[in-house]
Structure 1
């Protein structure tokens, strides 16, 4: 990604997510777990979150296919002290948002979906395909 693209992504993340009470950070990642951008997180932590969260997102997509549930819109993980919200963002990308328990769930879900839609309008990471065998 170019610096201009990173600046635009950060701006969208900041403009939308800074309104969420207890925001701790966010990661935009490709569906294969590669960090594309992050917000308020150190790079090593953002990369670990991206790698781990891609597995959660892939599992939910597989379950949805199995039960005929359609597109997975949002996943929420509730922890003792934090929330993790996972939303598809454009073709082949996922947005992960981490907040403290101060966040109101309705506000969190709404803002994360709106942020993902804003990014998804122009951002797309195509799914990786296997190279043809010779």
Structure 2
């Protein structure tokens, strides 16, 4: 019972960070927070099946960009922006273990989209990287 209430609290906190930051972006259509192995951790304004498909597909894109960056000694990948006929897609790393995907209509301003996506990812990365109070660091 403790685990499920912690999971609900975690999901609520993640959704709150997503909502507080991403709702400011003009044309926001949704976002997915995923683990590095493509598992949906949380979704914003997207139904679960769509969010899960996006998470699985985007994990490949994120992994490819990280591999390219390693190959050219580019350091960490900050963000990737994909321009489509009708949408923008912004992919941002959230710390070591997760990635944020943000989808907007073409009404979004690219600077605003990129900036808010990075700020949101940083907030999530800090929050996700904080150990639970009950955890004892291993020595």
TM-score by length of 2: 0.87
Residue 105 of structure 1: how far off its partner (Å):
0.2
Contact 1:91 1:123 in 2 (8 A): no
Q: Name the residue aligned to 2:34.
A: 29
Q: Name the residue aligned to 1:11.
A: 16
Residue 90 of structure 1: how far off its partner (Å):
2.0
Partner SS state of residue 121, structure 1: helix
Gaps of 5+ in 2: 1-5, 130-139
Q: Name the residue aligned to 1:20.
A: 25
Once the two structures are superposed, the pairs formed by residues 69-88 of structure 1 within 5 Å of their partners are 69-88=74-93
Across the two proteins, how many residue pairs are aligned to each other? 124
**Alpha-carbon distance between aligned partners in 2 of 1:59 and 1:119, rounded to the nearest angstrom:** 22
Q: Name the residue aligned to 1:61.
A: 66
Match of 2:107 among 102, 110, 128: 102
Structure 1 runs of 4+ aligned residues shifted over 4 Å read none
More helix by share: 2
Q: Name the residue aligned to 1:90.
A: 95
Q: Name the residue aligned to 1:130.
A: none
Residue 45 of structure 1: how far off its partner (Å):
0.2
